Structure 1
Amino acid sequence: MDTEISESYGLQYRKTEKFGDFKAFRYRNILYTIVPCGFLEQEEVIELKQLSDYMIQKGESRVGLIVPTKEGQLTAIINNQPCMIIRCPRKTQYRENLTGRELAIFHQRGRTFPYKLTKCNRIGQWKNLWEKRVDQMEMFWREKVSQHPSNEFEKRFIESFPYYLGLTENAIQYLVDTEMDDYPSLVDSATVCHHRLTEQLWQEINHVDFPHSWVFDHSSRDLAEYSRDQFLTDYKMDQNKWNHFLNEYNQMSPLTSFSWRLLYARILFPIHYFETIEGYYLTKSEVKKMSYENQLNRHLDHSTKYEDFLVLMNEYIKNNNRSLHAPNVNWLTKEYRSKF
């Protein structure tokens, strides 16, 4: 590996070290990470390079710099797989928790990116992506039903999928209604977001914000995924912490009616369920399979609590935006659920 890096990048080092999930090395007292990127198309890597260079230029001190090879390529084959070398910034001030103000500033900077993006772009694509994802899983589910479950995980998957299919249909309809009934403003334009912003990712971002985890999307993506993760950590919401975070964000970058509704549509979409099922069937590790099975059991055992979370989110959004005339998901109202 040292020979491959030396030949491709001209970087010399004596030993590797661990940096989060990645291998890393030091050259002239600067830390470089080796990030596998076989899941990214070359055009997407080029766009991520443009985005990260721009965010560094705008003052984002935690962003890692994608280093080109001596020939100007952004990836190289290292250990038989495509990788990026990312130069880590020098240590910055560490904050244990993500603040709404920091995220709002990050989004404001990303929103001014002046060039068109194609491969990283997700804005306006949620409906098609969600439909494609649920259609693929429904086909897979029907196949498993016809084969009969071979273990406890498959049995729980077969039993639970119709419920999450219904929740997904609610999310898609809510999104369609939002795009038909409401209007985006300038603050609703695309910005730099994280594929999945979680508390764990933020701990990593405190040291380096790796561009390979970015997409160009509506800011509500980060807000929704961070809020979802806050709940799923213990299947309960620290309302004071959560309210403070959203209020701080909203003061720095006021959310529009359109933003609030997109946020709720995204939380309705049960991405945590889909990723658990997909992860189980994609991994070859028995240890990871067991982890996904435990994860699925927790999600299903706490599905009622997740409904409570959706009700809480809906009430919070409406209370903080009096002009919002968003539709209710009828079975996710206190009045309806109190009957059962």
Structure 2
Amino acid sequence: MSVKVLENLFGITPEQTIQDGSSVRYMVDNSLYTIIQVTHLEQEALIELYEMSEHMAKYGDNKVSTFVPGLNEKFLVTHEKQDYVLMHNYLFPPSRNNNTGRKLAKFHERGKLIQAPISGANRVGQWKSYWIKRLEQIENVWRGVVQERTGEEFEKLFIQSFPYYLGLCENAIQYVTDTELDEELTFLDMGTICHQTFHENVWNKQMEIRNPFDWVFDHPSRDIAEWVRDCYFLNSRSFQPDLTQFFRGYESISPLSIFSWRLVYARLLFPLHYFSCIEDYYLTSSQWTQKQLEERLSRYLRDARDYERFLGNFYQLAGVGQENFPAIDWLVPSYLE
């Protein structure tokens, strides 16, 4: 069906089909095309993604996916009651620059220059409200699980651990509040184009494609913190060299203010990894996936002390020292005693 959409609505006949992770891409000469189903998206959201994509391409990011008009000269096409857009990329050889920090800083610097108003995708200053809403949703699930107590191993772990992660979440919210009260914003703290959840593999797949459908508009610390979180959980025993390289690369292009460092830390305090694990468990109907998530949750709880040590030493590990930043006294979770 995708090939039919490509041929009938865009007048493009693919020469080759490529599986790139979970995405199917179609090659024509030196171009790659990706069809994205957007029936669930509001038109205003698509316009914002279009504006961000056009901006990044205009300012020299040649890895960005750009929107392709159909034969009817419209970017949004409909086939069998489903809406689609087509994204275009040029095919480049793998980048020689493997410093993700440096590449991300350049990306953020370009994103800061956008003039088009971004509202629906704007997350600047909204972390606390998002976190509170997410916390309340998880807490409601937890209360229901406590009442039912089915005896499932995952639910035992969830019941046991949630109060501890509730405390972490409250610490994160308070840290953002204190940062907003204590620190002045600088020109380094302008909002920019960011990712919903940035990590090493967002760009370092088979093809380095920068997909606007991964984007939001936020403070650059969002992407930095999520990269650090992913780096830590991938290599919790040996992350230090990658962390050092990342921050050196990033700050060689865009130095971080004290405000930025504190937001990075606040976001690492927020237990997104834990919340995502719980949410994914209750959203899937696959027993295999649930078992994988149970094992992941068990690892998070087993290694909670290590993550506390990481948070407690973060500023030193990142090379900026503790003296300019407020410390938090970490308590060992009672269920690990």
Between 141-150 and 285-294, report the one with greater CA deviation. 285-294
After superposition, the Cα gap between the structure-2 partners of 1:185 and 1:137, relative to the gap in structure 1 and judged at 3 Å, is: same
Task: Measure the CA separation in 2 of the matches of 1:84 and 1:187.
Answer: 34
After superposition, the Cα gap between the structure-2 partners of 1:249 and 1:288, relative to the gap in structure 1 and judged at 3 Å, is: same
CA deviation map 1:61-114 (0-9, x unaligned): 111112233345444456875443211222144247343222111111110111
| 3-state DSSP of counterpart to 1:154 | helix
Q: Could you state the TM-score of these two structures normalised by the residue count of structure 1?
A: 0.89
| 3-state DSSP of counterpart to 2:161 | helix
Between 291-300 and 178-187, report the one with greater CA deviation. 291-300
Task: Measure the CA separation in 2 of the matches of 1:167 and 1:254.
Answer: 28
Between 9-18 and 270-279, report the one with greater CA deviation. 9-18
Between 277-286 and 302-311, report the one with greater CA deviation. 277-286
CA deviation map 1:40-69 (0-9, x unaligned): 433112111111111111111111112233
Between 29-38 and 99-108, report the one with greater CA deviation. 29-38
Question: Is residue 2:255 matched to residue 1:254?
Answer: yes
Given that residues 173 and 266 in structure 2 are in contact (C-alpha distance below 8 angstroms), is that contact kept between their aligned partners in structure 1?
A: yes
Count of residues in Structure 1 that have an aligned counterpart in Structure 2: 332
Q: Which residue of 2 aligns with 1:58?
A: 59
Give the partner amino acid of 2:146. V
Given that residues 38 and 83 in structure 2 are in contact (C-alpha distance below 8 angstroms), is that contact kept between their aligned partners in structure 1?
A: yes
Q: Which residue of 2 aligns with 1:283?
A: 284
Task: Measure the CA separation in 2 of the matches of 1:150 and 1:322.
Answer: 44
Pairing 1:69-148 to 2, within 5 Å after superposition: 69-77=70-78, 82-95=83-96, 97-148=98-149
Q: Which residue of 1 aligns with 2:172?
A: 171
CA deviation map 1:250-288 (0-9, x unaligned): 232111111111110011111111111111111223332
Q: What value does the CA root-mean-square deviation take over the aligned residues?
A: 2.4
Given that residues 97 and 202 in structure 1 are in contact (C-alpha distance below 8 angstroms), is that contact kept between their aligned partners in structure 2?
A: no
**What is the percentage of aligned positions where both structures have the same residue?**
39
Q: Which residue of 2 aligns with 1:221?
A: 222
Q: Unaligned regions of 5+ residues in structure 1, if any?
A: 334-339
Task: Measure the CA separation in 2 of the matches of 1:96 and 1:251.
Answer: 14
Q: Give the deviation of 1:323 after TM superposition.
A: 7.3
Q: Which residue of 2 aligns with 1:320?
A: 320
Q: Unaligned regions of 5+ residues in structure 2, if any?
A: none
Task: Measure the CA separation in 2 of the matches of 1:59 and 1:12.
Answer: 28
After superposition, the Cα gap between the structure-2 partners of 1:40 and 1:165, relative to the gap in structure 1 and judged at 3 Å, is: farther
Given that residues 98 and 202 in structure 1 are in contact (C-alpha distance below 8 angstroms), is that contact kept between their aligned partners in structure 2?
A: no
| 3-state DSSP of counterpart to 1:23 | strand
Q: Give the deviation of 1:241 after TM superposition.
A: 2.5
Q: Which residue of 2 aligns with 1:329?
A: 328
Q: Which residue of 2 aligns with 1:336?
A: none
Q: Give the deviation of 1:150 after TM superposition.
A: 4.3
Task: Measure the CA separation in 1 of the matches of 2:31 and 2:41.
Answer: 26
Task: Measure the CA separation in 1 of the matches of 2:331 and 2:69.
Answer: 50
Give the partner amino acid of 2:24. K
After superposition, the Cα gap between the structure-2 partners of 1:272 and 1:95, relative to the gap in structure 1 and judged at 3 Å, is: farther
Q: Which residue of 1 aligns with 2:304?
A: 303
Give the partner amino acid of 1:222. D
Q: Could you state the TM-score of these two structures normalised by the residue count of structure 2?
A: 0.90
Q: Which residue of 2 aligns with 1:203?
A: 204
